[in-house]
């Protein structure tokens, strides 16, 4: 059992928790993830490590309430416990020798992008961060990004905060004005990462994307997280849990990845509704 040391809401649907897991806290690096179960009957879900405190033995996770499991997890309070917390899993982000990097996060994907921006900043790299949200009321981690970025651009779809538009707009402006980067690292919705990749393609700047598809076991056995990459004209199957989650954006078959991501939408919605109905019955 793993104790919830801290909990706070970042917005109405995004929760930050610090889980006491000393072994994971000592080993985890930016880009890696954990798999947890809320209780004995719960499903396994992957969540990216959003930070660690090796001295306190805690691992920070940030998640959006989107399905039955994240709803159940959100109801847990400080001092309570979750059943399983396994990790670190996946391959850590490769950040060595990067001197100038653009980090682009979208929505809750900013929870994954932020520790990468922090690590790059601590390594002495020049960090430009572009983060995007639908509206002002769901902006998260602004202060953290300001602390770790030499330049920060915040975009909102509706223009309710900072600049109106999507994250590719300031990126295109920078690139067309002659600015260059050793690497562009983008994390967020698949369609956003796809557009970021295509925006950078004419300039030949390397793009790393973080793929977080459906996972079950986290060891490559279930095949749920498989991706198709186009490498040197050949289609190659990789697994996000053991080969990633970071991949070369130019190689990812985004059309297939987006199609696969929609397969479980109806199931997830029904599961979420069933969980909410059950909780309401218990309250009443």
CATH number (domain holding residue 113): 3.40.50.80
Q: Tell whether 256 is covered by a domain.
A: yes
Quickly tell me which residue has 């600015």 as its tokens: 179
**What is the structure's pLDDT at 162?**
93
Q: Are residues 108 and 68 in the same domain?
A: no
Q: Is the peptide bond before 250 cis (omega within 30 degrees of 0)?
A: no
Q: Are residues 30 and 144 in the same domain?
A: no
Which residue range(s) make up the domain with 204? 100-261
Separation between Cα atoms, residue 22 and residue 32, nearest integer Å: 16
Last residue of a domain, one of 89, 111, 135: 89
CB 73 within 8 Å of CB 84: no
**What is 34-80 written as a DSSP string?**
EEEESSTTPPPEEEEEEEEETTTTEEEEEEE--SHHHHHHHT--TT-
CB 155 within 8 Å of CB 169: yes
**What is the structure's pLDDT at 242?**
85
> Measured between alpha carbons, how far is residue 225 from residues 99, 205, 229, 248, 258 in Å?
32, 27, 13, 16, 12
**What is the structure's pLDDT at 280?**
53
Q: Are residues 156 and 201 in the same domain?
A: yes
Residue 236 contacts by C-beta under 8 Å, 6 or more apart in sequence? 228, 229, 230
Q: Are residues 242 and 116 in the same domain?
A: yes
- What CATH number is given to the structural domain containing 12? 2.40.30.10
Q: Are residues 132 and 232 in the same domain?
A: yes
Q: Are residues 256 and 151 in the same domain?
A: yes
DSSP state of 180: -
Q: Tell whether 268 is covered by a domain.
A: no
Separation between Cα atoms, residue 63 and residue 161, nearest integer Å: 22
Q: Are residues 153 and 252 in the same domain?
A: yes
Instruction: Give the alpha-carbon dihedral of 150, 156, 159, 162, to 10 degrees.
Output: -20
Q: Are residues 107 and 240 in the same domain?
A: yes
Quickly tell me which residue has 């749920």 as its tokens: 224
Q: Where are the alpha helices (DSSP H) in 83-189?
A: 110-122, 142-148, 168-176
Separation between Cα atoms, residue 120 and residue 199, nearest integer Å: 23
pTM: 0.86
Q: Are residues 115 and 192 in the same domain?
A: yes
CB 38 within 8 Å of CB 242: no
Separation between Cα atoms, residue 191 and residue 189, nearest integer Å: 6
* Domain count within the chain: 2
Q: Tell whether 280 is covered by a domain.
A: no
CB 107 within 8 Å of CB 189: yes
Residue 74 CA to chain centroid, in angstroms?
17
Q: Are residues 62 and 113 in the same domain?
A: no
**What is the structure's pLDDT at 272?**
43
Of 28, 29, 3, 4, nearest in space to 15 by CA: 4
Q: Tell whether 273 is covered by a domain.
A: no
Q: Are residues 206 and 119 in the same domain?
A: yes
Q: Counting beta carbons within 10 angstroms of the beta carbon of residue 103, is it exposed (0 to 12), middle (13 to 18) or buried (19 or more)?
A: buried
Q: Are residues 46 and 165 in the same domain?
A: no
Please give the backbone phi and psi of residue 253, each rounded to the nearest 5 degrees, phi first. Answer: -85, 90
pLDDT, one tens digit for every residue, the chain (284 residues): 999 999 999 998 999 999 999 999 999 999 999 999 999 988 888 898 999 999 999 999 999 998 888 999 999 999 999 999 998 999 999 999 999 999 999 999 999 899 999 999 999 999 999 999 999 999 999 999 999 999 999 999 999 999 999 999 999 999 999 999 999 999 999 999 999 999 999 999 999 999 876 666 666 677 777 889 999 989 999 988 888 899 999 999 999 888 877 766 554 554 444 445 544 555 44
**What is the structure's pLDDT at 281?**
53
Q: Tell whether 40 is covered by a domain.
A: yes
């Amino acid at each position: 059992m793993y104790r919830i040391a801290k909990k706070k809401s970042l917005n109405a649907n995004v929760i930050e928790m610090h889980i006491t897991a000393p072994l994971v806290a000592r080993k985890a690096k930016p880009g890696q993830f954990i798999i947890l179960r809320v209780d004995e009957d719960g499903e396994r879900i992957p969540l990216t490590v959003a930070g660690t405190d090796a001295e306190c033995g805690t691992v920070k996770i940030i998640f959006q309430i989107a399905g039955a499991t994240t709803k159940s997890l959100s109801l847990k309070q400080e001092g309570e416990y979750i059943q399983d917390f396994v990790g670190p899993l996946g391959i850590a982000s490769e950040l060595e020798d990067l001197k100038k990097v653009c980090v682009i996060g979208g929505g809750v994907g900013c929870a994954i992008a932020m520790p990468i921006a922090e690590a790059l900043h601590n390594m002495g790299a020049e960090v430009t961060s572009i983060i995007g949200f639908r509206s002002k009321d769901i902006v998260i981690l602004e202060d953290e990004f300001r602390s770790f970025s030499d330049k920060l651009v915040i975009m909102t779809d509706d223009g309710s905060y900072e600049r109106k538009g999507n994250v590719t707009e300031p990126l295109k402006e920078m690139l067309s004005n002659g600015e260059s980067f050793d690497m562009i690292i983008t994390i967020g919705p698949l369609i956003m990462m796809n557009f970021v990749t295509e925006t950078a393609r004419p300039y030949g700047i390397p793009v790393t994307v973080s793929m977080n598809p459906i996972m079950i076991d986290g060891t490559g056995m279930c095949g749920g997280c498989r991706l198709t990459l186009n490498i040197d004209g050949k289609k190659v199957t990789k697994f996000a849990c053991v080969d990633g989650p970071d991949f070369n954006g130019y190689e990812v078959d985004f059309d297939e990845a987006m199609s696969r991501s929609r397969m479980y939408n109806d199931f997830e919605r029904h599961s979420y509704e069933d969980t909410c109905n059950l909780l309401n019955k218990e309250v009443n």
